[in-house]
């Protein structure tokens, strides 16, 4: 072993024996110089004095306490208080580093810190071991790392940093901590300038008043806004929103969903299904359209309500539900249709507005308007009102030819355990009813006029008729009552319109809706990469970490737009 102290750069080069080419690692300050052929054959060893050893290589400067320089191989081992400075923006510090000047590859370990300062922004990466490719301007770690910028703290087991794109790719146990929320993901791409995050695996975002899950999605971490396009769910203000594509924006307190939507009301035990829906947190409301249906999950029998448009507004205790245009509803023992349906949670009142008709069992009921009233405690049907021009008709179940009929100005019904038990018709009432004995032999046809009629029901069929105040009528033998006299004035039978199943609430237009195409359906749309491509006009593909589950990287396209509907 031999030693030289305080050699100049020229003397050191002379000791090395060759002129330094532009690709060679250059010695700026060698301080103490030694050789140890036994331990480091072919290497030049430098150690600091009152100043650190310094090297330069193609725009980067490296300082360290001890350097082992293999000049012929053009590589360097540095030890102690290492600083690798690239321009004015990139600074890497560590305890040790191996640097290969031929391909500009560095491996740094022991308390590695990589700082990038650009445009008044600073990002700091900390890890145990970091691989730095200066040719591609990429760095990589696979033994846990932490990235801190002005908005977020990000950690992951594996990560890669693309310096020119100012982009990080994180894999395995990705975690973002922000003062307003936390995010966890299996794979996530993050741009340090825009603070945009792109999720490519199972991911959860938990804010103060919301929780988002998706397996593909985009999130602007600055303003808490984004969308999911695979298995997306948002828990938001006592509602759970699911759909093929779901958008969320905290600032406007707005969320929307497109295609195969399910909105669950966790307080009132209801579900909305549709192909487009919007949720407004401030107004505590939901707007839904495109094959929209509201399902009220009752104890034994669910209620299905459909309209071209559904709207649910208000706090849970004061919630109002409305179905507009072509409104229909179905439950196993009752169904109906009208122009619109209005339900108020506070009063338990459901109004069927404009051309209403309901079927209770085999009974068809019509009138100018129909009201259904629920018991507020049991949430079961309590009573029924048909206001103005009340008319009830049922097909004679024995002859299957005639029709039992009753009409009056108004109709009032009473329910027990959701079953209609009593029907009262008042003012100018009339009835036509087919009377049979126990052997189902026709006794005659009762045709009566009176002031009021009470019908006692069993299993949604008339068991008894009671007439009040001067009834005028008789039971006619069938042969004595002409067929034209067997229908009351205003009689219209609409049996072919009866809604028999929950699927009958949808018409042909509902069943033939063409779903919109979700853009970026397999991967979130990388608007940052798209902007970079527009800036450069063209560029070579980045050698990125392959997406998990054999997925392909996202294709540049346009970000989905959300059309908002104002709710009063």
Per-residue three-class SS string for 55-99: EEECCEEEEECEEEEECCCCEEEEEEEEEEEECCCEEEEEEEEEE
CATH of the domain at 93: 2.60.450.10
Residue 69: inside a domain: yes
In angstroms, the CA 170 to CA 190 distance is: 8
Q: Is 469 left (phi over 0), alpha (psi -120 to 50) or beta?
A: left
Say if CB 414 and CB 438 are below 8 A apart: no
Q: Name the phi and psi angles at 535, rounded to 5.
A: -65, -45
In angstroms, the CA 392 to CA 406 distance is: 5
Residue 186: inside a domain: no
Q: What is the pLDDT of residue 536?
A: 64
At CA 325, angle to CA 290 and CA 376, rounded to 5?
Answer: 95
3-state secondary structure (DSSP) of residue 16: helix
Residue 87: inside a domain: yes
Residue 124: inside a domain: yes
In angstroms, the CA 170 to CA 392 distance is: 68
Q: What is the pLDDT of residue 535?
A: 65
Q: Encode the chain (568 residues) as per-residue pLDDT tens digits.
A: 344 444 444 444 444 444 444 589 999 998 899 998 888 998 999 999 999 999 999 989 999 999 999 999 999 999 999 999 988 888 999 999 999 999 999 999 999 999 988 767 789 999 999 999 999 999 999 989 999 988 899 999 999 999 888 899 999 999 999 999 999 999 999 998 889 999 999 999 999 889 999 999 999 999 999 999 999 999 987 889 999 999 999 999 999 999 999 999 888 788 999 999 999 988 889 999 999 999 987 666 788 999 999 999 888 778 899 999 999 999 988 999 999 999 998 898 999 999 999 999 889 999 999 999 988 887 788 999 999 999 999 999 888 889 999 999 999 999 988 789 999 999 999 999 999 998 889 999 999 999 999 999 888 788 888 898 888 888 999 899 998 899 999 999 999 999 999 999 999 999 999 998 888 777 788 888 877 777 665 444 434 444 333 343 333 233 333 333 333 3
Residue 77: inside a domain: yes
Which two structure tokens, joined as six digits, stand for 398?
């024995």
Q: What is the pLDDT of residue 425?
A: 94
Structural domain count of the chain: 1
In angstroms, the CA 405 to CA 433 distance is: 6
Q: Which residues fall within 8 angstroms of residue 244, CB to CB, at 6 or more apart?
A: 229, 232, 257, 258, 259, 260, 261, 518, 521
In angstroms, the CA 360 to CA 363 distance is: 5
Residue 232: inside a domain: no
- Dmax (CA) for the chain in angstroms is 137
Residue 67: inside a domain: yes
In angstroms, the CA 351 to CA 341 distance is: 6
Nearest to 446 by CA among 456, 433, 437, 455: 433
Query: Within 10 A of 177 (CB to CB), how many other CB atoms are there?
Result: 13
Q: What is the pLDDT of residue 539?
A: 47
CA 283 → CA 175, 271, 323, distances in Å? 32, 18, 18
Residue 49: inside a domain: yes
Q: What is the pLDDT of residue 380?
A: 80
Q: What is the pLDDT of residue 537?
A: 55
Nearest to 257 by CA among 273, 241, 271: 241
Q: What is the pLDDT of residue 145?
A: 94
Which two structure tokens, joined as six digits, stand for 548?
């998990």
Which structural domain range is residue 18 located in? 1-143
């Amino acid at each position: 072993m031999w030693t030289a102290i305080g050699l100049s750069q020229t003397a050191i080069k002379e000791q090395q024996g060759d002129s330094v080419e532009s690709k060679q690692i250059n010695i700026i300050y060698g301080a103490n110089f030694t050789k140890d052929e036994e331990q480091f054959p072919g290497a030049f060893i430098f150690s600091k004095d009152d100043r650190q050893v310094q090297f330069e290589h193609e725009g980067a400067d490296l300082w360290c306490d001890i350097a082992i320089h293999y000049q012929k191989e053009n590589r360097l081992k540095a030890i102690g208080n290492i600083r690798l400075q690239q321009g004015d923006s990139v600074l890497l510090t560590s305890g040790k580093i191996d640097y290969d000047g031929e391909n500009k590859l560095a491996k740094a370990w022991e308390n590695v810190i990589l700082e990038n300062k650009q445009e008044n922004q600073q990002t700091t990466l900390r890890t145990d071991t970091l691989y730095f490719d200066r040719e591609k301007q990429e760095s990589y770690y696979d033994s846990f790392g932490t990235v801190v910028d002005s908005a977020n703290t990000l950690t992951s087991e594996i990560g890669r940093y693309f310096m020119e794109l100012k982009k990080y790719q994180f894999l395995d146990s990705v975690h973002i901590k922000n003062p307003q929320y936390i995010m966890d993901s299996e794979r996530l791409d993050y741009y340090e300038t825009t603070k945009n995050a792109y999720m490519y695996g199972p991911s959860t975002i938990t804010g103060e008043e919301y929780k988002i899950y998706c397996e593909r999605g985009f999130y602007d971490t600055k303003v808490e806004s984004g969308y999911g396009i695979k298995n997306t769910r948002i828990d938001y203000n006592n509602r759970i929103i699911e759909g093929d594509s779901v958008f969320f924006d905290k600032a406007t307190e707005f969320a929307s969903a497109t295609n195969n939507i399910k909105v669950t009301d966790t307080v009132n035990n209801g579900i909305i299904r549709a192909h487009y829906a919007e949720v407004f947190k401030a107004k505590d409301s939901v707007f839904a359209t495109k094959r929209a249906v509201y399902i009220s999950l009752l104890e034994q029998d669910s209620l299905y309500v459909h309209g071209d448009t559904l709207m649910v507004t208000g706090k849970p205790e004061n919630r109002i539900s409305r179905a507009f245009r072509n409104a229909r509803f179905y439950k196993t023992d009752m169904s109906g249709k009208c122009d619109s349906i209005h339900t108020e949670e506070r009063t338990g009142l459901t109004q069927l507005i404009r051309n209403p008709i309901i079927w209770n069992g085999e009974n068809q009921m019509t009138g100018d308007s129909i009201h259904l009233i629920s018991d507020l405690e049991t949430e079961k049907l309590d009573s029924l009102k048909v206001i103005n021009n009340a008319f009830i008709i049922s097909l004679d179940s024995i002859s299957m030819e005639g029709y039992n009929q009753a009409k009056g100005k108004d109709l009032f019904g009473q329910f027990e355990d959701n079953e209609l038990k009593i029907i009262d018709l008042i003012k100018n009432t009339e009835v036509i009813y087919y009377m049979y004995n126990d052997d189902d032999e026709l006794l005659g046809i009762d045709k009566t006029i009176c002031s009021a009629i009470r019908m006692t029901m069993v299993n949604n069929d008339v068991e008894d008729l009671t007439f009040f105040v001067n009834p005028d009528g008789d039971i006619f033998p069938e042969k004595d009552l002409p067929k034209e006299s067997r229908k009351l004035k205003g009689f219209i039978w609409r049996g072919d319109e009866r809604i028999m199943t929950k699927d009958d609430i949808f018409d042909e237009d509902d069943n033939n809706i063409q779903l919109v195409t979700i853009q970026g359906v397999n991967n979130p749309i990388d608007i940052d990469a798209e902007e970079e491509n527009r800036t450069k006009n063209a560029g070579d593909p980045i050698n990125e970490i392959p997406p998990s589950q054999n997925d392909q990287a996202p294709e540049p396209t346009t970000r989905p737009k959300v059309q908002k509907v104002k709710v009063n």
